[in-house]
A and B are shown apart, each in its own frame.
Chain A
Amino acid sequence: MDSSSSDQLIDQKTIITVIVALGITIILTVAVITTFVKAKNHPGKIILPGGITYVGMREGNTNNQVTIPTENTDSVYTAEASVPWVTYKGTLYPYSFSYPKTLKLVTFDNDAGDPVAIDWNNGDPRGRILLSVIDITKESGLKEYVGKPKKELVQNWWRQFGGLTGISSFTAFTNKNGMVGYRAKFVNKEGQSPNTDVFFEVAGKPNLLVRVANGILDPTLFDKIVDSVNWGK
């Protein structure tokens, strides 16, 4: 092989290398653009850090205070019949339930109860937990109910809270998915029972309870959500 043909070979090699390098660069650039465009259109979900920490002021709230959860009794969330319902699935526990797509849900990270809350009316979602899982072996106030009927626990639930004085109604029921639940209304210090709490037993997991609270939800809509709660399927 003479020197000119060897030079030619080198040139060819260089050209191929440059083409391959350019090809890789172009492929990676396209991949970057694609992932960014795809991500921009991803609806995502709201994730708040676990525990008590700062989540900032809500939009429109201009004072310099941390937003404190407040309950606006005048505002109730409801959804038109045309709004599609979607399924929410727990992150740590295999629970699921259906809810109207327009209801904004917030997930809390790093929280052992795998709670999900409602983002509504610029209030702090931490004050509007819709569903959470309770491990009664880990709650010091509930440990005495380990091994006892859940009915007894629910009837005495209010005793953990200084702001509650008793129970005004209690019903046992089974939802559409066969989950055994207890619906209760507790009495506050003003003698009122504004909220409904539903507690579901978890088959095969006697230490777990799924708690669902109505909060700002329209009662019919809340009932529909309660009926859709499921575990492990």
Chain B
Amino acid sequence: MKHSKWIIVFLFLTGFLLRLIFIPNPGFEADVSFWKSWGLAPFDHGIVWGAHNTNFNYPMPFMYLLWAMVKVYSFFADPHNFDAFWNNHNLLFLTICKLPTILADLGIAALLVLIGRKPKRFSFPDLPFSIYLTLSALYLFSPLALIDGPLWGQIDALGVIIFLVAIMLTIKQKPLLAGIIYMVAMMTKLQNMIYGPLFFLFVYQMMGVKGLVKAIAGSLFTFLGLNAEFILAQDMKRVIASLTENYDYFPLLSLNAYNFWWIVASGKGMEISDKINFLGLLNAKKVGLFLFSSGYLLSLLTMAKETVKSWGKPTKDGAAQTIMSFFIALVIANASFFLFQTESHDRYAFPIAIFSLFLAPFLIHSFTTVKKRIKWWTTIPWKCFIFVYILYTCLYFINLHTALIINYPENGIPLLFSLQNPTVTITLAVILIGFFIFFILSLRNVIGIIPIIVSLLVFIILSTASNLPLILHKPISLTAFTPVKATQDYARMTIDMPTNAYEGYKKWDRLSVQYGFYKKGIGTHAKSEIVYDIGRRFKTFATDYGVDTEAGLQGSITFEIWGDNTLLFRSDTIKRFDNPRHIEVDVTGVKELKLFVGDAGNGNTDDHADWLNPTLYPL
């Protein structure tokens, strides 16, 4: 390509300058202020102290990056100058915290250029360099890439580029390094965890069992190395917590992600619990997990075909096919994660915009002839890709932009404010799901019809199996449901165990009232309110109740059962030495079943309450 060097310089320079323009925008101010807090704490007191004295909820090694930001900041200004440091227009900090992502953006674009120069070296299709350069430009000027890092202040692109490096190292047959870098990617952005099984399957496909073992070893040692400070401080509990505490952190249908649940919530995904009854006995969260699992299975099966073909030996000859399947699998897994899980964040679909650029050369190569590739820009596959890609990035940009201006209207683009209304956002969600279906259907020959059918069947089987009691009209324990809401004035609700079990496994015990023991039930403490969405599917609710044997002598409680805000039952005052009582109430037509425990008007000392064998009988 004539003058290509100058074109590259121009593209990267303008891409860089365009990003610099957005740096002074305070972006998503909550994220930036958390970066400051979580960077300042290790800067002042070290990472272990910082992890315990902040509300940091990312993987622990990410704190080193934030520490580095504050460290760099301290070369130019004092991070303890309160007014300057915490100012939302702190230009120095905004520059330092946004620069890594901007460089990552340039790195992703550069990687495409690098591959395009010598595609065969990376087992990529031998296509004209101009295709790779165009893909690089698409990313450099994508509105999505501009809003996520340079404007918002997030680090998604940084997480993706590190993961891409791990992929390239796998392609270059360097399993140990690939494993190491993959773990760095995961510790930078926990979302990379979802690609783990796909990545290690890819490593196996490229390098066989030996390569897989090396990659896993590299990952494990890197995990330990990156968390070494916590190991030395004998504090791995905090590391584990950082990897698990985000589960159910925001128990809502959709966190401004325009996906399936955004449609279900009629555009109010941030206001509706994901524990609402949705499909038979299943709440929205479980249905979301089943849908995601089916999507993930599809991604695994897409790749597994390659493994079956080359069983037991590395796929060097068919590397291009393997890499293509891997990138398709990444798009499917990422899209399933964003579109079908509840509690999905607005930014979760960001990596798709990058993975699809790396997938594009394979698709163009597969669906065009050598002759047609001379004028590649006129081919149907290219036109189709470019149309869908630009539309996708623009529409998903609106998703991110709306999520930003809901919180920080002054940091967004006023012209786009009208796009916040639910009709627009729900339409966007429908289109994004449409893209996913289009992607699957248009690549059905590559993915395979059988994997698609198997994935759909798995969802149907999982949903049906979970609803068997309802289908067979069998009684169902209320403990199988997850409450929409559960509050109590002391400790927290426990399932099949009394209140004290909340303290940890040493206090685990069976539920009992006056030494009558029960396998099933709910342990709670006055005053407590536990609400279930039972979806108008039952006729009777039966339960025993009483004060748990573990309670002190002052335990005295009243039990109430409410159906859609109507009192169905209120007990007498039950005391510590009373035997369990039994009640059955009619719940026909009831959607919201509430179990309330009162303190009988004398305070809640020793009020350890048990709902025992709480059972629902289907209509």
CB within 8 Å of B: which residues of A? 14, 21, 24-25, 28-29, 31-32, 35-36, 38-40, 42-59, 64, 66, 91, 104, 106, 109-110, 119, 122, 140
Contact = CB atoms under 8 A, between A and B. Distances in A.
Nearest to A62: B80
B21 A56 contact: no
Contact of B33 (A49, A59, A119): A49
Given A25-B14, A25-B17, A56-B80, A44 B87 contact: yes
Contacts of B34: 49, 53
Nearest to A55: B37
Contacts of A52: 55
B235 interface: no
A56 B80 CA distance: 7
A51 B81 CA distance: 21
B30 interface: yes
Contact of B24 (A25, A39, A51, A104): A39
18 contacts: A14-B3, A25-B17, A28-B18, A28-B21, A31-B21, A35-B24, A36-B23, A38-B24, A44-B26, A44-B89, A46-B83, A48-B86, A53-B41, A56-B79, A59-B80, A59-B82, A66-B53, A140-B487
B40 A47 contact: no
Contacts of A104: 83
Which of B10, B23, B37, B86 neighbours the largest number of chain A CB atoms within 10 Å of its CB?
Answer: B86
A160 to B, nearest CB: 12
B331 to A, nearest CB: 32
A162 to B, nearest CB: 14
Given A42-B89, A44-B90, A48-B33, A28 B14 contact: yes
Contacts of B18: 28
Given A56-B82, A58-B80, A40 B40 contact: no
The DSSP consensus for interface residues of chain A is loop
Contact of B87 (A45, A53, A66, A122): A45
Contact of A46 (B21, B32, B79, B86): B86
B38 A53 contact: yes
Contact of A32 (B10, B21, B33, B78): B21
The DSSP consensus for interface residues of chain B is helix
Contacts of B29: 47, 109
B472 to A, nearest CB: 39
B91 A40 contact: yes
Contacts of A106: 86
A32 B89 contact: no
B580 interface: no
Nearest to B527: A140
Contact of B91 (A14, A36, A45): A36
Which of A25, A39, A49, A64 neighbours the largest number of chain B CB atoms within 10 Å of its CB?
Answer: A49
Contacts of A51: 55
A45 B29 CA distance: 11
Contact of A29 (B3, B17, B81, B82): B17
Nearest to A10: B2
A21 B3 CA distance: 13
B85 interface: yes
A53 B80 contact: no
Interface string B8-49: 001001100110110110100110111011101100110000
A64 B33 contact: no
Given A55-B86, A66-B53, A49 B17 contact: no
Contacts of B41: 53-54, 56
A122 B17 CA distance: 39
A50 B30 contact: yes
A47 B26 CA distance: 10
A32 B56 CA distance: 33
Nearest to B406: A92
A55 B88 CA distance: 14
Nearest to B70: A56
A35 B21 contact: yes
B83 A109 contact: no
B55 A25 contact: no
B17 A28 contact: yes
A65 to B, nearest CB: 10
Nearest to B50: A54
B45 A64 contact: yes
Nearest to B407: A91
A14 to B, nearest CB: 8
B245 interface: no
B55 A47 contact: no
Contacts of B14: 24-25, 28
